[in-house]
Amino acid sequence: MLLKGSLVAILHLLLHTLFSFELVQGSVQNKSVHQSNSHRQKRLFSLFNIVQFQNGPCTTTSNADTTGTCLSTQECNAQGGTMDGNCASGFGVCCVFIVTGCNGVVNQNCTMVRNMGFPAADPNNGRTCSISINRLSQDICQIRLDFQSRTVIPLGAGQGVCGGIGDTLNVISPHSGSQSAFPPTICGTLTGQHMYFESGRSGILAGQINIVQGTGVNSDRRYNIKVSYIECTSIVRAPSGCTQYFIGLAGTIMSYNFPGGQILVDQLYTNCIRQNEGYCSVRYAESPITTPDPFDLTADVRVRIACDSVNQISIPSSILVPEEGGNIRIAPSVRCGTIFGGLARSTIPSTLTSERGVPFVVNVRTRPAFTNNAFSGFSLDYTQIPC
């Protein structure tokens, strides 16, 4: 039986009280009573040994940005982890697993992948660091990466371009031989963002992180990436095809490298929001910030009819469009330009509310590099609306 929270604390106090009572009794009684006490102490020790707790995530004592796994002291030592604080009301330790440098292997949930020399920058250029992620069980369907602390994969020479003299980060898995089946290659300042990708359910290798260190930009190359295994039955498993997944009633969706103030080129991916029970639509609005600009995808396109040939986001609406063969499709609300709003040609920022019965998603599409791509991207606040 798993004992958690207040129940564990109560049991801990009870054991302490009973054990203290045994010591007091033992100090005033004769040898035969000592033997009786010894027998009772053995029973108490056995009871202490059966206390179990969930091996969930925990926050380390030394750094709030570092996540560990709650284990017993013996388990942490046996698995090669580092103890950093307590958990489970003192019955467990917060055990941290860290992979540093190139060509490492992840074998534990919540492992932290860090650059050589972390928290300092890694000055080495012209090499590829590949981190293999081994499968913990056959019930693993996805991998989630959380970019923590200050994570910077430097951009190249072009505006919003990954690679070249700059760096790139991409993920792959034996689950599919097609690179297009996975999230796009990213770079820039990624702090606070995350990424999902599919891992399949078979084989030893669940996935791989590749960080290609460019040839000329290394002054701020650093990364601190938490690797989480997502079970097939987990409530935080994302729908297939979602690169980012948000489960709260409210939150913020940003384009990759938005903290760096530069939209990345040649991106195609989907941000998904889990629909909570009793909520039927989502309201979106520009985040209340001024730097970087919270909605800046292309030059002002109010005079254009569509956003087809430029950077854009699209949010499904309930507009039904007939197609050949009698099929019906849901038309998206496409937005581009410099102002986000309920109308495609808004002159001032406003909100956009998705209609009932459509997926809670924000699709992102940016074009390949072109001459003037000095746009910041987007940061949208979302709020789920009750039915």
The answer as to whether 86 is a domain residue is no
Question: What pLDDT sits at residue 334?
Answer: 87
Question: What pLDDT sits at residue 44?
Answer: 45
**Together in a domain, 383 and 247:** yes
Domain closes at, from 175, 204, 234: 234
The answer as to whether 168 is a domain residue is yes
Question: What pLDDT sits at residue 372?
Answer: 61
The answer as to whether 16 is a domain residue is yes
How long, in residues, is the chain? 387
| Prediction pTM value | 0.81
CB 184 within 8 A of CB 269: yes
Structure tokens at 332: 């998206």
**Together in a domain, 225 and 126:** yes
**Together in a domain, 128 and 229:** yes
**Together in a domain, 120 and 213:** yes
Question: What pLDDT sits at residue 10?
Answer: 43
**Together in a domain, 109 and 252:** no
Q: What is the CATH number of the domain that holds 307?
A: 2.60.120.290
**Together in a domain, 230 and 244:** no
Question: What pLDDT sits at residue 200?
Answer: 85
The answer as to whether 87 is a domain residue is no
Query: How would you write the pLDDT of the chain (387 residues) with one tens digit per residue?
Result: 333 444 444 444 444 444 444 433 444 344 444 454 554 544 444 444 556 778 888 888 888 778 888 999 999 999 989 999 999 888 899 999 999 978 899 999 999 999 999 989 999 999 999 999 999 888 999 999 999 988 999 988 778 889 888 899 999 887 765 555 679 999 999 999 999 999 988 889 999 999 999 988 777 899 999 999 999 999 999 998 899 999 999 999 999 999 999 999 999 999 999 999 999 999 999 999 999 999 999 876 554 556 878 899 999 865 545 555 656 555 568 888 898 987 766 778 889 888 787 789 999 999 886 656 789 999 999 999 999
**Together in a domain, 174 and 253:** no
**Together in a domain, 222 and 254:** no
The answer as to whether 272 is a domain residue is yes
The answer as to whether 68 is a domain residue is no
Question: What pLDDT sits at residue 194?
Answer: 97
**Together in a domain, 214 and 283:** no
**Together in a domain, 115 and 248:** no
* Cα–Cα distance, 342 to 54 (Å, whole number): 46
Question: What pLDDT sits at residue 32?
Answer: 46
Domain closes at, from 234, 257, 285: 234
HEC string of the chain equals CCCCHHHHHHHHHHHHHHHHHHHHHHCCCCHHHHHHHHHHHHHHHHHHHCCCCCCCEEECCCCCCCEEEEECHHHHHHCCCEEEEEEHHHCEEEEECEEECCCCEECCCCEEEECCCCCCCCCCCCEEEEEEEECCCCCEEEEEEEECCCCEECCCCCCCCCCCCCCEEEEECCCCCCHHHCCCCECEECCCCEEEEECCCCCCEEEEEEEEECCCCCCCCECEEEEEEEECCCCCCCCCCCCEEECCCEEEEECCCHHHCCCCCCCEEEEEECCCCCEEEEEEEECCCCCCCCEECCCCCCCCCCCCCCCEEEEEEEEEEECHHHCEEEEEEEECCCCCCCCCCCCCCCCEECCCCCCCEEEEECCCCCCCCCCCEEEEEEEEEEC
Q: How many domains does the chain have?
A: 3
**Together in a domain, 384 and 281:** yes
The three-point CA angle 161-289-306 to 5° equals: 60
The answer as to whether 299 is a domain residue is yes
The answer as to whether 66 is a domain residue is no
* Cα–Cα distance, 374 to 296 (Å, whole number): 9
Domain closes at, from 180, 214, 234: 234
Question: What pLDDT sits at residue 46?
Answer: 45
Q: Which domain holds residue 34?
A: 1-52
**Together in a domain, 130 and 250:** no
Question: What pLDDT sits at residue 3?
Answer: 38
